[in-house]
Amino acid sequence: MEFDGQTALVTGGSRGIGRAVALAFAAAGADVAIAARGRDAAEAVARDVRAMGRKAVAVAGDVADPDHVQAFVDAALDLNGRLDCACNSAGIIGAMAPVGLQELDNLEAVMRTNVRGTFLCMRAEIAAMLEQGGGAIVNISSVTGLVGVPGVSPYVASKHAVGGLTKSAALEYARLGIRVNAVAPGCTQTELLDQFSGELGRQNGILDPVAVIAEDHPVGRIAQPSEIASAVLWLCSTGAAFTTGQIIAVDGGQTVG
């Protein structure tokens, strides 16, 4: 997969899957705009991209703020005057509790970042891509967007919503040259997993929750961020030119049975 001369925008690009996606785009020849809440963290990834011989810009902001989102897209456009690929990776998992004990504030916070944020990013990215005649967008969903998972109902609901946004946008822009897909990772070695597994262990008295989570995957392990990034890059590549509106599970077989 080659992205020479192309520009990619990655939200949530300072850590975890987003960071892996940004570095994978750079390794494949793209210039990259890295958007994150913290400027220093985003700039650290931008330095890594520049060390690979590609242009990079770091921009800080909140994906749920439309002005910040427009600044993300504008920063990407400033690199080369176009936006070829976008990966919307910013997300939070929120607090763990059964539905009957979930706080409304937690639901609203998760939906604000994961759903409103994805919607706003897609809206701004699509506007930029229409100006140039096309592009590719990949949203980061989750296996929890395909099945139910106890204890994190707001997160599950938000990722199901990301799938709906992905499918609707794909249908709306398929004949206008914009492909929209999603990747649904299984458990991946990120800070979000550390948060989830730590709380799982505390609530259930599990000494090694990551090992328990790994056993839930037929391949017997959790994913590395680079493995999720590979799927994102394929969906943005010319090899996926006939693929749109899909939610690709990269989950070690977790959702097969």
In a domain, 1, yes or no: no
Supply the pLDDT for residue 199.
65
Give the CATH number, domain containing residue 42: 3.40.50.720
Structure confidence at residue 205 as a pLDDT band (50, 70, 90): confident
Give the rounded percent of residues in the chain with a pLDDT score beyond 90.
83
Using the predicted structure, report yes or no on whether residue 166 has a pLDDT greater than 70.
Answer: yes
Supply the pLDDT for residue 16.
95
Structure confidence at residue 193 as a pLDDT band (50, 70, 90): low
Supply the pLDDT for residue 201.
61
In a domain, 255, yes or no: no
71's CB contacts (< 8 A; 6+ apart) are: 59, 61
Structure confidence at residue 61 as a pLDDT band (50, 70, 90): very high
In a domain, 129, yes or no: yes
Supply the pLDDT for residue 198.
60
In a domain, 58, yes or no: yes
In a domain, 154, yes or no: yes
For the chain, the domain total comes to: 1
Supply the pLDDT for residue 189.
83
Average pLDDT over the chain, rounded to whole? Answer: 94
Two tokens at 147? 């099945």
In a domain, 244, yes or no: yes
- Establish whether 155 is a catalytic residue: yes
Using the predicted structure, report yes or no on whether residue 197 has a pLDDT greater than 70.
Answer: no
Question: Per-residue pLDDT averaged across 122-127, rounded?
Answer: 98
Domain extent for 101: 7-250
Supply the pLDDT for residue 174.
98
Supply the pLDDT for residue 217.
82
In a domain, 2, yes or no: no
Supply the pLDDT for residue 176.
98
Question: Per-residue pLDDT averaged across 59-79, rounded?
Answer: 98
Per-position DSSP letters for the chain, written without gaps between them? ---TT-EEEEETTTSHHHHHHHHHHHHTT-EEEEEES-HHHHHHHHHHHHHTT--EEEEE--TT-HHHHHHHHHHHHHHHS---EEEE--------B-GGG--HHHHHHHHIIIIIHHHHHHHHHHHHHHHHT-EEEEEE--GGGTS--TTBHHHHHHHHHHHHHHHHHHHHHGGGTEEEEEEEE-SBSSHHHHHHHHHHHHHHT-S-HHHHHHHTSTTSSPBPHHHHHHHHHHHHSGGGTT--S-EEEESTTTTT-
Question: Per-residue pLDDT averaged across 57-79, rounded?
Answer: 98
Structure confidence at residue 222 as a pLDDT band (50, 70, 90): confident
Structure confidence at residue 191 as a pLDDT band (50, 70, 90): confident
In a domain, 36, yes or no: yes
Active-site residue, from 3, 155, 173, 196? 155
For 88-108, how does the pLDDT look when each residue is reduced to its tens digit (9 = 90+)? Answer: 999 999 999 999 999 999 999
